[in-house]
Amino acid sequence: MKINWNYPTSIWVGENRIKDLSQACKNLKISSPLFVTDKDLINLDMTKNIILEFKKKFSTLAIFSNFSGNPIGENVEEGVLEFKKNKCDGVIAFGGGSGLDVGKAIAFMSGQSRPIWDFEDIGDYWKRADEKNIAPIIAIPTTAGTGSETGRASAIINNKTGIKKIIFHPKLLPSIVILDPCLTIDLSPRLTAATGMDALAHNLEAFCASGFHPMADGIALEGIRLVKKSLLICAKNGKDITARLDMMVAASMGSTAFQKGLGAIHSLSHPVNAQFNVHHGLSNAIFMPYVLTFNKDVIAKKIVLICNYLNIKKDFNGFIDWIIELRKDLKIPHKLSEVLDEKKIDLDKLSQMALNDPSTATNPKKLSKSDMKIMYENSMSGKLF
């Protein structure tokens, strides 16, 4: 199967589409790309083979991989120096959320004179950017979770404040995306589960977010269905290409849909990711049922619509039961206290950080600092109702 999509950007979909990487560079007139991936991926045979094949057609290729999960601003700064030193004219962002976010941020910041924090997703801060020199981006996800390949933002931690910031600009959206399910075959069941729940969180929060955006709602609804159909299959049989492709598409759909907005699942997650280096998809999965039940009085009708589409028990509690059972089957902890030591957590600090997170604004229910604290406490104790 070979299909080219053009919403929200140009997306090349199908098995072994990674072989078209050199053509993607040619299409975007990239002659000297910077290949951006993380410390772990750069050492995999899969990545080495992709680079080797690419070099047969492109003599010039610089590589930057000096970062890990939950990247910080200094990682982006170092990458920009590498981009300029090698006179690069485009970025190939390869990997999970960290690889894609760092790659996109490098392409964006290579044309800026202001610090990256000046472009946080607040109001019209993005208009501060110099658009002329933003480098073109090719995004190649190797997980099915963040959907950063179809997003106009990068999540980067400000190491000085310990806060994860969302950096936004329309031109952070990659020009070409390659969705090749073969790149996810060797992903472990644990990471398959965590990243898959991230994709579910994006679609689910987008559907429930406040505001009017029927296109995003339709995309999100189908994204949820694909997760229900294929996530467990991927976790149990990673070599099922059809299921792997379903999940890659669901992840891209989630990011496309959440231009409508997100909510408290992400608001609660971002401080935990920044402060304790917890995997973003895992924290989203843990917080999911606690946020849903907290928002119940304003989202119950939307949840019933999802139940109708998924053909599961058609009430709010039936949907929560499905989430709980899915997490159990994926071996995801029910409580945050199973991941973090309660004694090391400052709930007041985390609650204020969560309240200040950009995702809070589009939560379907208006939230206060005390609301955030209640949800953190419930997630620590396991209290749902």
pLDDT tens sequence across 145-164: 999 999 999 999 999 999 99
Quote the CA–CA distance of 197 and 288 in Å, as a whole number. Answer: 9
What pLDDT, on a 0 to 100 scale, did the predictor assign at position 348?
96
Which candidate, 179, 129, 148, 226, places its Cα nearest to that of 17? 179
Question: What pLDDT band is residue 371 in, cutting at 50, 70 and 90?
Answer: very high
- DSSP symbols for 245-296: HHHHHHHHHHHHHTTS---HHHHHHHHHHHHH---HHHHHHHHHHHHHHHTH
Mean pLDDT, to the nearest integer, of 127-144?
95
CATH code matching the domain that covers 3-183, chosen among 3.30.450.20, 3.20.20.20, 3.40.630.30, 3.40.50.1970:
3.40.50.1970
> What DSSP state is assigned to residue 382?
T
What pLDDT, on a 0 to 100 scale, did the predictor assign at position 385?
80
Mean pLDDT, to the nearest integer, of 330-339?
97
- DSSP symbols for 142-189: SSSS--GGG-SEEEEEETTTTEEEEEE-GGGS-SEEEE-GGGGTT--H
Quote the CA–CA distance of 384 and 289 in Å, as a whole number. Answer: 7
Mean pLDDT, to the nearest integer, of 186-200?
97
What pLDDT, on a 0 to 100 scale, did the predictor assign at position 379?
97
pLDDT tens sequence across 156-185: 999 999 999 999 999 999 999 999 999 999
> What DSSP state is assigned to residue 32?
S
What pLDDT, on a 0 to 100 scale, did the predictor assign at position 4?
80
Q: What is the SS3 assignment for 313? A: coil
- The ranges assigned to domains in the chain are 3-183, 186-381
- 7 pLDDT above the threshold of 90: no
pLDDT tens sequence across 44-84: 999 999 999 999 998 899 999 999 988 999 999 999 999 99
Quick check: 82 and 33 in contact, CB under 8 A? no
Question: What pLDDT band is residue 309 in, cutting at 50, 70 and 90?
Answer: very high
Quote the CA–CA distance of 278 and 18 in Å, as a whole number. Answer: 30
- 124 pLDDT above the threshold of 90: yes
What pLDDT, on a 0 to 100 scale, did the predictor assign at position 6?
72
Residues in the chain, how many? 385
Which candidate, 90, 70, 230, places its Cα nearest to that of 158? 70
CATH class in words for 186-381: mainly alpha
